[in-house]
Structure 1
Amino acid sequence: MPFVVMITGIPGVGKSTITKLALKQVRVKFRLLNFGDLMFEEAVKAGLATHRDGMRKLNPNLQKKLQMKVAQRIVEIAQKEPVLIDTHAAIRTPVGYLLGFPKEVIEVINPNFIVIIEATPSEILGRRLRDLKRDRDVETEEQIQRHQDLNRAAAVSYAMHSNALIKIIENHEDKGLEEAVYELVEVLNLAVGEYA
């Protein structure tokens, strides 16, 4: 039976850092897959993109086709080993927000757990400004909060179509990265225990 945990959070929340640190401490080995990277691989193969951050500017119908291809690849991998998907639940595009997973795609992936990483808008803005490796759009704190609210709403809709459990982990500057990592390790260990 496939076992999939989805971890989501808006850009700059610290999701990838927390995930990588947690995977070094879990009892069961997970295969970490970045949904955006897999989509980018598919887009490059199809001649649709040359840069990862340009993906969100693709036509939404093309994005949905790429998402379905990636979802099918993930399910094949999850048949053999537990999978942790690093992804965005709601993606900001030039014309509005796109759900990271349309209904058909989430039903194919069918995650067991959805973990949402959140922080305050000011913390996220500060992290984005310090990260010079990515080409991120500039957003106000109000826009960041709206994006985070939509991310949470999207995760709830995914749970409705997959019966996944949802866990929210807060990654605040004063709380410490270690505590957020600890919470994720606990969730992953319990999740595998529940479905073993």
Structure 2
Amino acid sequence: MKLGIVTGIPGVGKTTILNTIKEILSKENSKFLIMNYGDYMLKTAMEMKYVSNRDEMRKLPLNVQRQLQLEAAKNIYKDASSLGDGLSFLDTHAVVRTPGGYLPGLPKHIVEILQPQVIFLIESDPELILKRQENDKTRARTDYSDPAVIKETMDFARYSAMASAVLVGASVKVVKNVEGDPSIAAHQIIKSLV
């Protein structure tokens, strides 16, 4: 199993980059899987009647978020393992900003289940991230609407990614999302995981 965890603050362009990876690998007839940690958590949270949409999850008590993280990790590992030697990509956050503080997206008990080879940090200029967030009317991200908060969150994401990588011997790679050409970041990620 080859698993790359693709992280970044909301609005940095993870989904766009992962969609580009999907296009590239589909054209190459490669065996791959793209998963979203939030989808796995949301499915469980909705089944348990904790939330009605994804953005409400960040506001849940930390103990509930931890429980949802654990269930998601088990299911993600199972799905990635079923792919054999194919490439698996997991869209998630290295940290989640909550009312109770920064919650590690990849704490010890989670990263040890997932066993990634690489943790990718997608980054962009905070002002550019703000502009992308404003243009995305499908999500409510008012808790990330200040450039200082975006910068602070990206700093915490770097610290968290490295701490998680140390636990499983993974590497950490910072990938800049260049405006207008997500294929640059997509190719860097594919090359680093193969």
How much does 1:68 deviate? Answer: 0.9
Change (3 A) 1:63 1:143: same
Q: How does 1:154-193 map to 2 (within 5 A)?
A: 154-173=160-179, 176-187=181-192, 191-192=193-194
> Partner residue of 1:132?
137
Q: Hey, what's the Cα distance between the residues in 1 that align with 2:123 and 2:33?
A: 23
> Partner residue of 1:16?
15
> Partner residue of 2:104?
99
> Partner residue of 2:56?
54
From 41, 44, 49, the equivalent of 1:42 is: 44
Q: TM-score, normalised by structure 2?
A: 0.90
Which amino acid letter does the alignment assign opposite residue 20 of structure 2? L
How much does 1:9 deviate? Answer: 0.5
Q: Hey, what's the Cα distance between the residues in 2 that align with 1:31 and 1:97?
A: 28
How much does 1:102 deviate? Answer: 2.0
Change (3 A) 1:185 1:110: closer
Indicate yes or no: 2:111 matched with 1:111: no
Superposed CA offset, 1:111-148 (max 9, x none): 11111100011111111111111111152111110011
Which amino acid letter does the alignment assign opposite residue 19 of structure 1? L
Deviating beyond 3 angstroms after TM superposition, the runs of 4 or more aligned structure 1 residues are: none
Q: Hey, what's the Cα distance between the residues in 2 that align with 1:122 and 1:148?
A: 13
C-alpha contact 1:116 1:168 (8 A) present in aligned 2 = yes
Superposed CA offset, 1:38-78 (max 9, x none): 10001111111111100011111111111111111111112
How much does 1:177 deviate? Answer: 2.7
Tell me the secondary structure at the aligned position of residue 24 of structure 2.
coil
User: Which consecutive unaligned segments of at least 5 residues does structure 1 have?
Assistant: none
The alignment's C-alpha RMSD in Å is: 1.5
Q: TM-score, normalised by structure 1?
A: 0.89
> Partner residue of 1:3?
2
Q: Hey, what's the Cα distance between the residues in 1 that align with 2:154 and 2:120?
A: 13
Q: Hey, what's the Cα distance between the residues in 1 that align with 2:93 and 2:19?
A: 16
C-alpha contact 2:117 2:171 (8 A) present in aligned 1 = yes
C-alpha contact 1:120 1:172 (8 A) present in aligned 2 = no
From 145, 149, 153, the equivalent of 1:147 is: 153
Which amino acid letter does the alignment assign opposite residue 169 of structure 1? V
Q: Hey, what's the Cα distance between the residues in 1 that align with 2:76 and 2:68?
A: 12
Superposed CA offset, 1:67-102 (max 9, x none): 111111111112221421100111111232111122
> Partner residue of 1:63?
65
